[in-house]
């Protein structure tokens, strides 16, 4: 899977607005790392991004695309994308205080 890596960090697409998520609403894992999609989002070409996702990932929901931002995560970090009412956030394993039962 291709990824954008800058200064030891990997670009991950996350939707930070309420209403619709991106990965949590069905975009495949490879879409959140997609270099072409990251480029479109960074350049705020949202309609092109929607068209690209529609063609490349036909089962993905495109409602959250205009709210995507690139989140930079240290290469090799384990993380999950959480969602509440469409608002996605990233939780990184080594930065989260996990509770042990």
The pLDDT value recorded for residue 12 is 97
The phi, psi pair for 90, rounded to 5°, reads -105, 135
State residue 17's pLDDT score. 77
The answer to whether 73 and 90 are in contact (CB under 8 A) is yes
Q: Where are the domains of the chain?
A: 5-95
Write down the pLDDT at residue 99: 65
What is the reported pLDDT for 85? 80
pLDDT in tens, the chain (101 residues): 899 999 999 999 999 877 778 888 889 999 999 999 999 999 999 999 999 999 999 999 888 899 999 999 999 999 999 988 878 888 888 777 776 68
CB 58 within 8 Å of CB 65? no
Give pTM, 2 decimals.
Answer: 0.88
User: How would you classify the pairing of strands 68-74 and 79-84?
Assistant: unpaired
- Token output for 27: 């975009």
pLDDT value at residue 41: 97
How many angstroms separate the CA atoms of 12 and 34, rounded? 8
Which DSSP letter does residue 67 get? Answer: G
pLDDT at 54: 96
């Amino acid at each position: 899977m291709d990824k954008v890596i800058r200064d030891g960090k990997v670009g991950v697409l996350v939707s930070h607005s309420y209403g619709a998520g991106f990965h949590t609403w069905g975009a495949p894992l490879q879409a959140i790392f997609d270099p072409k999609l990251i480029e479109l989002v960074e350049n705020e070409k949202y309609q092109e991004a929607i068209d690209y996702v529609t063609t490349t990932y036909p089962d993905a929901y495109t409602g959250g695309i205009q709210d995507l931002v690139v989140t930079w995560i240290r290469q090799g970090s384990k993380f999950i994308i959480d969602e509440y009412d469409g608002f996605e956030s990233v939780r990184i394993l080594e930065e989260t205080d996990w509770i042990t039962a």
